[in-house]
Amino acid sequence: MPSGKQGLRKMGRELVFLSLYLFDIYPVPPAEISNFEWYDIMTKDQDSEEDLLYIPLTKRAEIYKFGAQLFNGTISNLKKIDDIIKTHLIKWSFNRLHSVDKAILRLSVYSLIYRYDIPAEVTISEANELSDNYSDDNTSNYINGILHKVKQEYRKNVLINNS
């Protein structure tokens, strides 16, 4: 299990990725997903770090708070985010994207254009890791390409002081 603030944020991003996937395939109001009750129900008998996205009970409040910020921010800006993704797809239609890939791209594009407190390299690296774990074999190649273009477009002149 990852430790420290970065580890908790990584779990939060994975939780948000799963939430965005759920939002795409199961049309319910975003508030029913962003409270993460679905995760509590899904994992109520979970007792192993080997299970899908193990989040310790002692860390859930902190992770849920961060996750809700990312999920709600992504949903609030979904039209703009989807438009950005569409402009960077090459020889592919947005409607043909798998829900898993949409969820990864939506979370990552939101993070790149709105969350300057998250380094672009972290966003892209974790998007690649999510695609390696949840998507088809070559998906990380095109996700990586899209995210690097978005990074260049939205962060090329931004210097962040993370001290």
The range of the structural domain enclosing residue 102 comes to: 4-155
When divided into structural domains, the chain yields a total of 1
- Residue 141 neighbours by CB under 8 Å, 6+ apart: none
Indicate whether 32 pLDDT > 80.
Answer: yes
Would 81 be classed as within a structural domain?
yes
pLDDT (tens digit, 9 = 90+) per residue, 33-57? 999 998 888 887 666 555 567 888 8
CB 71 within 8 A of CB 21: no
Which pLDDT band holds residue 162 (cuts at 50, 70, 90)? very low
- H/E element holding 48? none
CATH number of the domain residue 31 falls in: 1.10.940.10
Would 117 be classed as within a structural domain?
yes
Would 163 be classed as within a structural domain?
no
Question: Closest Cα to residue 113, out of 63, 78, 141?
Answer: 78
DSSP conformation class of 91: S
pLDDT (tens digit, 9 = 90+) per residue, 83-135? 999 999 988 889 999 999 999 999 999 999 999 999 999 999 999 999 999 98
Would 160 be classed as within a structural domain?
no
Indicate whether 3 pLDDT > 70.
Answer: no
